Amino acid sequence: MDNTFDFSQKVALVAGGTGGIGQLIAAELSSRGCTVITCSRTPNNDPMHITSDLRSPEETQSLIKTLLDQHGSLDIVINAVGVVAFGEIISTSVDTVEELFLTNTFSHIFLTQAALSHMTKGSVIVGISGIIAEQNLPGMATYGASKAAVRSFNEALSREARRLGIRVIDARPPHTETGLATRAIEGVAPKFPQGLTPVSVAQRIVLAIASGEDDLPSAAFSN
């Protein structure tokens, strides 16, 4: 695959950039010459980190305003924010249903709405839905549905954004060893086969930006 995208002088936001996949995407973008800003709910001392809860549309608007005030432009948006839950549909709590859709789906929509009008021709948006958006699984129905909604949103976003010269990549990595499953907001993960390494997933996503791809199905990932 050829590398057609010029990362130098580009400003990238990695939402969830402190997480297992997000922090490695941030590092990879940095190594290719981007100015990288991360955000997540938990404050830290990194001057390139902005504390923001993307479940709130107001906080998300404010995140983008702060980033633009500090860095002047926004060329790459990666959304690596997410939470997971396990359990049968019949016993999943209302709080968990709301939390999964707020964090995984609503925040992706809010982030896109806040960022899109500030992005220019040649920019890229990456949403990480996941392999479950290709086929949902028992015991993960609500998580899977929240991710299928992200994939569906990205499908339409991609066509709207194309008119502005902005590329959208829906990335659907298989199970990845970030520990996400051990941090489930409800339920206990089943025993998964060994997953992909977070670094291989992060590098594949950045390669897709570099090489002009506009979709990353699960089959595109390997260690």
Ligand X SMILES: NC(=O)c1ccc[n+]([C@@H]2O[C@H](COP(=O)([O-])OP(=O)(O)OC[C@H]3O[C@@H](n4cnc5c(N)ncnc54)[C@H](OP(=O)(O)O)[C@@H]3O)[C@@H](O)[C@H]2O)c1
Interacting residues with ligand X (CB under 6 A): 16, 18-22, 40-42, 53-55, 80-83, 103, 107, 128, 130, 173, 175-176, 178, 180, 183, 195
Residue 81 CB, shortest distance to ligand X, in Å, is 4
Task: Name the residue with the smallest CB distance to ligand X.
Answer: 19
Nearer to ligand X, 81 or 149 (CB): 81
Residue 128 CB, shortest distance to ligand X, in Å, is 4
Residue 220 CB, shortest distance to ligand X, in Å, is 13
Residue whose C-alpha is closest to residue 76's, from 187, 206, 211, 217: 206
Nearer to ligand X, 101 or 164 (CB): 101
Nearer to ligand X, 6 or 205 (CB): 205
Q: How many residues does the chain have?
A: 223
Identify whether the C-beta of residue 186 lies closer than 8 Å to the C-beta of residue 96. Answer: yes
Nearer to ligand X, 164 or 218 (CB): 218
Residue 198 phi, psi dihedral angles, 5° rounding: -60, -35
To 5 degrees, how large is the angle CA 114–CA 115–CA 120? 145
Task: Specify the pairing of strand 49-51 against strand 35-40.
Answer: parallel
Residue 174 CB, shortest distance to ligand X, in Å, is 7
Q: Which two tokens stand for residue 101?
A: 């859709």
Spatial distance between the Cα atoms of 47 and 50, rounded to a whole number of angstroms: 8
